[in-house]
Amino acid sequence: MGLMLYLLGVLAMVLGIGASIALHEIGHLVPAKLFGVKCRQYMVGFGPTIWSRRRGETEYGIKAIPLGGYVRMIGMFPPRPSDPDGTVRASSTGRWSAMVDDARSAALEEIEPGDEDRVFYRLSTPKKVVVMLGGPVMNLLIGAVLITGLVTIHGVAEVRGAAVASVAQCITPATLSGTTPDCTGLPASPAAQAGLRAADRIESINGKPVTTPVDVGALVRPHAGEPVAMVVLRDGERVRLNVTPVATQVPTLNAEGEPVLDAAGSPVTEKVGLIGTTTSPILVNVPQPIGQAPPMIADMVTRTAGVLLRLPEKMVGVWQAAFGSQARDVEGPMSVVGVGRLAGEKASGMSVGPMLDQIEPVPFLINLLASLNIALFVFNLIPLMPLDGGHVLGALWEGLKRTIARVLHRPDPGYVDVAKGLPIAYAVSVVLIIMSVLIIYADIVKPVRL
């Protein structure tokens, strides 16, 4: 059963990622068709085609490697400014120039008679930006809808009490929490003597309500050697207990949680009462008004952008984790393999993190998919080809040049030759492939523990 649930979790995430990619490409396809651009292909995935059907002038299909997708629009690259419209120079010198001209030639060969006004490069700057931003914006909308649904329907986890996580059976000389292999000759802990049990929900101490784990320590510590009355909820019934905290000396901490030192530089201690338990928060999902969703979405976008800005540093951490003893950074990059692994572990009941283990599988998977879409939104805005942000930058540069020429009453400078950015696009693609291989390897040998 565990393996079946694991596979179902992975399958659910694969389908979610596939749907996100498909909708991303829809975000490009729909405005392109509305603006009259001829789209020859709409494909989800790369590599060999598994399935395809032609509808009108567009072939829709699924390919074998589900790591992306594309919409093939005719006329992505304009002819050289010095060449007649729709033609390309017969020969070029230099390896890079030849590569650029080959790509431009292939793009122009797709333009059939009657399609001259249906090419991408003839679109106005605003229309080009809308087409290229359609994909990332679709990912942002997917993430926003998922997050809004979680916030308003399922709710946000809030701490609404404290429960006993563990009970020490005896008191050790070093600490009053935890257990020892052999308690022979050691006094029983106050919690064990009173009959406290793991999973007991602490409702009140000396008549004062307990709303967080911090309240337990704050209400117990001042009563060293004095009995305190506790009310716990156990199996649906309230149980009243009397616990006498044992006195011990602990370092005094300031508001920042740092030890307070005396004039000689020695730690200041204080006598407090401990009962020998550890506590954990009780989380309750509380539905929020829809107005709470936008700040959460903005925070996710900001944090994701921060990770991308530190991507070189994060990749060093991935390398050190994959080939060394360093743990994976929970704020670092993760591949679809890592995301699928987390989904499978959560669905099968395996631990994915101390706090996240209390979240139900379905909300966890929805939140994971939302985070992935936010990451796709931010990542595709990087202003480098072949990413969408690189095409947006080319369109904006073209619009700026034409605007300046119009204001200064100069001749139209023409289309920006984005084909010249192909060497950068190939270099970026190689870097992305290397990074993907490294992250996938790290997700296999040293997965992220949230």
Q: Which of 25, 112, 116, 270 is catalytic?
A: 25
Q: Taking Cα atoms as reference points, which of 393, 342, 388, 396 lies closest to residue 369?
A: 342
Whole-angstrom distance, CA of residue 311 vs CA of residue 428: 14
Report the alpha-carbon distance of residue 90 to residue 11 in Å, rounded: 50
444 CA to centre of own chain: 18
DSSP 39-69: EEEEEEEEEEEEEEEEETTEEEEEEEEEEEE
What is the C-alpha to C-alpha distance for residues 280 and 264, in angstroms, rounded to an integer?
37
Q: Quick one: angle between helices 336-347 and 361-380, nearest 10?
A: 170
CA dihedral 413, 419, 421, 423 (to 10 degrees): -150
How far apart CA 300 and CA 288 sit, in angstroms, is 17
125 with 395: CB under 8 angstroms? yes
For residue 202, give the 3-state DSSP assignment. Answer: strand
Residue located via tokens 């994959």: 322
Helical segments of 150-257, H only: 190-194, 213-220
In terms of DSSP bridges, do strands 156-167 and 58-73 run parallel, antiparallel, or are they unpaired? unpaired
Q: Is 25 noted as a catalytic residue in this protein?
A: yes
Q: Decide: residue 144, CB within 10 A, 0-12 exposed, 13-18 middle, 19+ buried.
A: buried
Residue 279 CB neighbour total at 10 angstroms: 20
Catalytic residues: 25
